[in-house]
Amino acid sequence: MKQSWIVGASGGVLILVLSILDLKVIHDGTGYLRYGILLIYFAMIYLAVMRTRDRDLGGEITFKQALRAGMIGAIASSLITAPFWFWFFRYELPLSQLKYSTVKPLPYQFRLITEDSVVAIQYTINSVIMNLLMGFIVALVAGIFLRKKDQSASI
């Protein structure tokens, strides 16, 4: 399971770097970089499952092992990316909305909006839950393709 943590952490760091690049440097309005981040996330979970396969069984894996490896990779990725998403939803998103908004709020209204962290916490929790849900689904799919064949049904 150590390999799942390593793969998940490295995928989380790569996702974090690409997210910061998209936000601060590239400003990709088309969303292609976000598709790349999603592809990296799916590949990370699949690699976490692949690295956990039992070498004695010809590289096959049970559903339980696949789910555990995929969820560990998803948790490791979420632990690394959650602080960034909290910062983004708490500070960067309100500032960018204010920058591109045609209606400018009064200073005291903007101060009240940005001091409240409830929305940022909710969005961060939602992003972690979505990471875990995607990790669960990708681990199930990887477990289907790499599953251990049931030998009891054969005659």
Q: Please give the pLDDT value at position 153.
A: 46
Give the HSE-up count for residue 151: Cα atoms under 13 Å, Cβ half-sphere: 4
Is 147 in a helix, a strand, or coil? strand
In this prediction, residue 33 carries a pLDDT of 74
Assess whether pLDDT exceeds 60 at residue 150. no
Q: Per residue in 95-146, pLDDT tens?
A: 766 666 666 666 665 555 555 567 777 778 888 888 888 888 888 887 777 7
Q: What is the pTM of this model?
A: 0.69
Residue 107 has a CB neighbour count (10 Å cut-off) of 8
Instruction: Measure the CA dihedral 71/72/78/83, to 10°.
Output: 150
